[in-house]
Each structure stands twice: as C-alpha cells, then as structure tokens.
C-alpha cells in the first residue's frame, strides 16, 4: 500500500483538463480542414451577388454562376468584401498544416503495423502526455483488439493462428478481391451504406443546400423583409445554435426521432415556401435576375426560411457515419458516403438554375418538398435507433435478417394484430 502511494505521488495521473487538451490539440488539424472545406463551399454565397452580371471587374453569367462551387464565412461576407474574405480564408489551411505536426498516428494503426512502442507512446500522448503505467490497461485491450482484426475475414475462422490460413497463400490481387467481396460487399456494410447514402440525398435535396450559392438572391426574389446578406448571416447563426442544441437533445430524444422530425420539418417548410411563392410572386421572378425582384417585402417568407434553416440544422447524417459501419470496412464506407454527399451537393447546386427556369420558384421548392416527404417515409421504415447501442449491436442488426420496418412502437402495434 505504501509503495502504491509512492508511485502515484511520483507519477500522478493526468488531470481531466490535461487529457482533454491533448486530444483537442490532436483534433485541431483535421477540424481546421473541415473548416477550410466549409468556408470554400460557403464562399460562393457571399461572392455570387457581387459577381453575377457585374458591370466592371470580374463578372459571371447565369450559367457560369451555377458552376461557381459556415457561420464564419457568412460573418465575413457582412464586414469585408469577397476579395478580402478570400485572403482571410488562407489562414485555415496554413494553420492546419502547422498543427498537423502535433498529431500522432492512431494507436490501433501503429499496432497493426507491429510498432508497439510507437503505439504506446501515441496513447500516452492522447491521454494527456502521461506515463505508460496510466494507460497500461487500455493499451492491453487495444493489443487484444488488434490481434482479433488479424483474423481471416474470408473464412472467418476463430483460430488466431493466421499463418495457417490458406487465403494467405494466394496472390495479393485475388486476396484483395476476396476481401472486397467479404468485407465491403457484406450485408453489414451495404445495408447501412445504402441507408446513409439515401439519407444524404434526401437531406441535401430537401431545400437549403442547393440554394446556398445563390441564397442572397433567392431571399431577395422571395421579397424577404431584410437585406440578403443579413439573412445569410442569421442563417449561419441559426445553424451554429442548432448544432449545439442537437448535442443537448440527442441523448434524450434519440437519433431516430430527431432525424424524422427534422426531415419532416424541412418538407413542410419547403411546402409553405412553395405555396407562398405561388400565391404572391409573379411568374417572371427569377433569382438570377435582380430586375425581376418584387418591390414589396414580407416577414412571412423570412420566417418560413428560418424554420427551414432550423430543421436542416437538426438533421444529423454525418453523425451516422461513425457508428453504423463495421470496423473493417468503416474507412472505405465512410469515404464513399462522404464522396456521395459532395456529388449530390454539386448536382443539387448545379441544377438549381435549370430547375428554377423550368418550374419557377414555387415549383423548385415543391420539388425539394417532395424529396423531404419521400425521405421522411423512407427513414421512418428503415432508420433504426442507434443511440445508446454498442457498435457490435448495430453491426449485428445489419448482419441478421433483413428488416423491412424499423423497430417503431407505432409499427409494432399493428404487427401484433398481424400475428394474432
């Protein structure tokens, strides 16, 4: 007992603040990369109103503007010109390149490469620059976990003596094809991947994302009772606040209820904006032509637009990426789903001008409302509740029998009559 006290006095466990600080420092570089990406995506929103058919300097036509492509960026658009904002944006990637020097490799990856000492050192760093004795239990668990990952995924043997596996004797190309078949094409990967990809599509095409590059002009075309750039800034503030609110309510409400409520809310908001545009705007109104904007303004479309922003901010497609995929295929599936999101975002933004030309503002938002309602129905039947579930429970959910309906009290009520 005395010896134990002496060891703790010499090497005290790191404080909570110290542990959080080390992990925060390690996360800053990738987070700044996301900030840089978000600023690049949002930059078109503050630049497009000044560049569209500008009389002098850099100018974009309607077609060029449709190719051209969040709180911080919107704030910059209200205090500086778009040229100054573009220079300020350089700070994010430069800071990210500097902070990457402080990010260690993940312990699991280092263990998979046989670098045990480096893995232990990285774990000590991530737990508050502590000493090995304070992370020994966690390190031992990671070692066992890494050994389990070395099991053959093709024959799925429980024998850890992988050197005896016949699949190690085939050439690398054949082994890669088999691993792709048994890991990426497995139902525990394809089922959640299909769910996430469709969720991304419904989320992107349910209203707010496609109009972001031309948001200022869309607000003016609706005759919203405020300056377009002020509305954009408020949209950024609302998005920031809702992201914090989500953190607070996701544990209480669960992901499934939050997702369904948010998706239905975007559908209803787009429907209301479509009805307002049909009843109050002339068919000649075109968001890419300021000469057609209405002279009368109203708070009704402004309120509806802010409601659309709130419900869009409550959607959480990115949260699902970290918990619905099995470990072996997680990196590839996450990358594929993220790439799909950016493809859909590009297609939605690029086709907005053609959609508005064809069916005007009211028809455009009616189409987005359709995506929202269809998405709500699909997610109601196929979105399981993942909050509070372990990763292996979620994996078992998708690896079992195909479940057409989600585990929902309303659906289960009618299932009982069917059984009887």
Look at residue 384 in the predicted model and tell me its pLDDT. 85
Among left, alpha and beta (phi > 0; psi -120 to 50; other), residue 191 is alpha
Nearest to 186 by CA among 391, 318, 337, 327: 327
Across 40-44, 156-160, 265-269, 381-385, least confident range? 156-160
In whole angstroms, give the CA distance from residue 35 to residue 228.
Answer: 23
Please say if the pLDDT value at position 3 is more than 50.
Answer: no
Tokens of 311: 């419900």
* pLDDT confidence bin for 5, thresholds 50/70/90: very low
* Alpha-helical runs (H) found in 102-179: 107-112, 116-126, 136-149, 172-179
Mean pLDDT computed over 10-14? 62
Most confident of 22-31, 112-121, 213-222: 213-222
Q: pLDDT-based confidence at 95, cuts 50/70/90?
A: confident
Fold entry, domain 186-419? Growth Hormone; Chain: A; (1.20.1250)
Closest CA to 338 of 318, 360, 357: 318
Which residues are CB-neighbours of 189 under 8 A, at least 6 positions away? 183, 325, 326, 329, 333, 398
State the pLDDT at residue 265. 96
User: What is the mean pLDDT of the segment spanning 280-298?
Assistant: 92
Q: 167-197 burial string, b = 16+ CB within 10 Å, else e?
A: beeeeeeeeeebbeebbeebebbebbbebbb
Identify the pLDDT of residue 252. 85
pLDDT digits (tens, 9 = 90+) for 172-227: 787 778 777 877 888 888 889 999 999 999 999 997 889 988 888 999 999 999 98
pLDDT recorded at residue 125: 80
Residue 35: what pLDDT? Answer: 61
Element (H, E) at 385: none
In which band, very low, low, confident or very high, does the pLDDT at 298 lie, cut at 50, 70 and 90? Answer: very high
Question: Domains of the chain: which residue ranges?
Answer: 14-103, 186-419
Confidence category of residue 9, pLDDT binned at 50, 70, 90:
very low
Residue 406 has pLDDT above 80, yes or no: no
Q: What is the mean pLDDT of residues 158-170?
A: 59
Task: Report which of residues 64 and 347 the model is more confident about.
Answer: 347
Q: Is the pLDDT of residue 146 over 60?
A: yes
Q: How far, CA to CA in Å, does 105 sit from each of 25, 101, 108, 187, 239?
A: 13, 11, 9, 30, 32
The pLDDT of residue 84? 78
- Higher pLDDT residue, 44 or 314? 314
Among candidate residues 153, 263, 282, 149, the one with its CA nearest the CA of residue 223: 282
Residue 93 pLDDT grade (very low, low, confident, very high; cuts 50, 70, 90) = confident
Q: How many other CB atoms are found less than 10 A from the CB of residue 407?
A: 11
Across residues 388-392, what is the average pLDDT?
Answer: 68
Q: Quick check: 85 pLDDT over 70?
A: yes
Average pLDDT score over the chain: 79
């Amino acid at each position: 007992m005395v010896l134990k006290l002496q060891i703790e006095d010499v090497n005290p466990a790191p404080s909570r603040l110290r542990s959080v600080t080390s992990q925060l420092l390690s996360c800053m570089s990738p987070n700044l990369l996301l900030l840089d990406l978000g600023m690049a995506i949002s930059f078109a929103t503050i630049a497009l109103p000044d560049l569209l058919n500008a009389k002098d300097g850099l100018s974009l036509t309607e077609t060029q503007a449709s190719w051209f492509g969040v709180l911080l960026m919107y704030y910059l658009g209200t205090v500086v010109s778009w040229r100054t904002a573009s220079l300020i944006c350089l700070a994010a990637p430069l800071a990210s390149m500097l902070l990457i020097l402080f990010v260690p490799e993940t312990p699991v990856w280092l263990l998979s490469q046989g670098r045990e000492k480096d893995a232990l050192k990285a774990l000590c760093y991530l737990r508050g620059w502590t000493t090995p004795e304070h992370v020994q239990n966690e390190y031992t668990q990671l070692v066992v976990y890494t050994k389990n990952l070395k099991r053959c995924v093709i024959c799925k043997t429980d024998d850890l003596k992988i050197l005896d596996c016949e699949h190690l004797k085939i050439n690398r190309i054949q082994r890669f094809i088999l691993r792709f078949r048994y890991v990426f094409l497995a139902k525990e990967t394809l089922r959640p991947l299909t769910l996430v990809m469709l969720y991304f599509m419904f989320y992107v095409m349910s209203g707010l994302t496609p109009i972001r590059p031309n948001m200022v002009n869309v607000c003016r075309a609706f005759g919203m009772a405020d300056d377009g750039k002020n509305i954009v800034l408020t949209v950024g503030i609302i998005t920031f606040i809702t992201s914090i609110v989500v953190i607070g309510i996701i544990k209480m409400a669960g992901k499934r209820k939050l997702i369904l409520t948010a998706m239905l809310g975007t559908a209803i908001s787009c429907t209301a904006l479509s009805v307002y545009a049909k009843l109050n705007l002339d068919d000649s109104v075109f968001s890419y032509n300021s000469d057609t904007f209405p002279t009368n303004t109203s708070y009704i479309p402004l309120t509806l637009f802010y409601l659309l922003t709130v419900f869009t901010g409550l959607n959480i497609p990115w949260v699902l990426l970290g918990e619905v995929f099995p470990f072996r295929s997680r990196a590839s599936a996450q990358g594929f789903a993220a790439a799909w999101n950016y493809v859909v975002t590009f297609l939605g933004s690029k086709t907005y001008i053609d959609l508005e030309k064809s069916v005007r503002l009211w028809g455009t938002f009616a189409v987005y409302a359709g995506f929202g309602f269809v998405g709500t129905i699909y997610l109601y039947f196929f979105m399981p509740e993942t909050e509070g579930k372990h990763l292996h429970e979620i994996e078992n959910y998708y690896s079992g029998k195909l479940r057409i309906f989600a585990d929902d009290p309303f659906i289960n009520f009618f299932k009982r009559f069917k059984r009887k």
